[in-house]
Amino acid sequence: MWRVSILTILPEVFPGPLSASLAGKAMAAGAWSLDVVDIRAFATDKHRTVDDTPAGGGPGMVMKADVLGRAIDATASDDRPRLLLSPRGVPLTQARVEALARGAGLLLICGRFEGIDERVIGARSLEEVSIGDYVLSGGEIAAMAVIDGCVRLLPWVMGSTASSAE
């Protein structure tokens, strides 16, 4: 089974459109699975704070390094690619989507605010991926696009459709 784990502060938006049509049928058939992790559950203060001012300075707020680090450590015990959705990331291509669909699955991290604390990117070996040259308000819709692009290439889905190339 192709396994996806998503880390987000908005777990309620999943599976959203991924529960419909072929992706939804493929999930129901056990071709892929979705594990939604609420980053806020790893905050330790009574207000469940997930944002902070950037450690290196700069405007706005970023997702806290300690909270996000704990969420990643609790979720990612295998070697699935760890993708951080980011407008500054490497643009996603069809070739990359095909390679990801051939693998074991994905760990997807959805940013919010002005992004995430930079220290987590290196410390947890995150790969920054962009779905286009524009800025969304959060990584959730970008994560859905990545998953949708991969799921349509899974063997179970391919067997149910005419052509993935088209």
Ligand X SMILES: C[S@@+](CC[C@H](N)C(=O)[O-])C[C@H]1O[C@@H](n2cnc3c(N)ncnc32)[C@H](O)[C@@H]1O
If you search the block for the tokens 């300690």, which residue do you land on?
66
Which stretches does DSSP call E strand in 2-137?
2-8, 32-38, 51-52, 62-63, 82-91, 105-109, 127-130
Give me the least distance between CB of 30 and ligand X, in Å please: 29
**Residue nearer to ligand X on the CB measure, 31 or 144:** 144
Q: How far is CA 157 from the centre of its chain?
A: 21
Residue nearest to ligand X (CB): 111
Distance between CA atoms of 109 and 72, rounded to whole angstroms? 9
Q: Given candidates 39, 68, 108, 111, which one binds ligand X under the rule CB under 6 A?
A: 111
Distance between CA atoms of 52 and 46, rounded to whole angstroms? 15
Give me the least distance between CB of 25 and ligand X, in Å please: 27
**Residue nearer to ligand X on the CB measure, 51 or 66:** 51
Q: Given candidates 18, 68, 83, 115, which one binds ligand X under the rule CB under 6 A?
A: 115
**Could you say whether residue 139 binds ligand X (CB under 6 A)?**
yes
Give me the least distance between CB of 89 and ligand X, in Å please: 6
Q: Which stretch binds ligand X (CB under 6 A): 40-48, 70-78, 99-107, 110-118?
A: 110-118
Q: Given candidates 1, 19, 55, 88, which one binds ligand X under the rule CB under 6 A?
A: 88
What are 77's two structure tokens? 């015990």
Q: How far is CA 113 from the centre of its chain?
A: 16
Q: How far is CA 151 from the centre of its chain?
A: 14
Q: Where does this chain bind ligand X (CB under 6 A)?
A: 85-88, 110-112, 114-115, 130-132, 134-139, 142
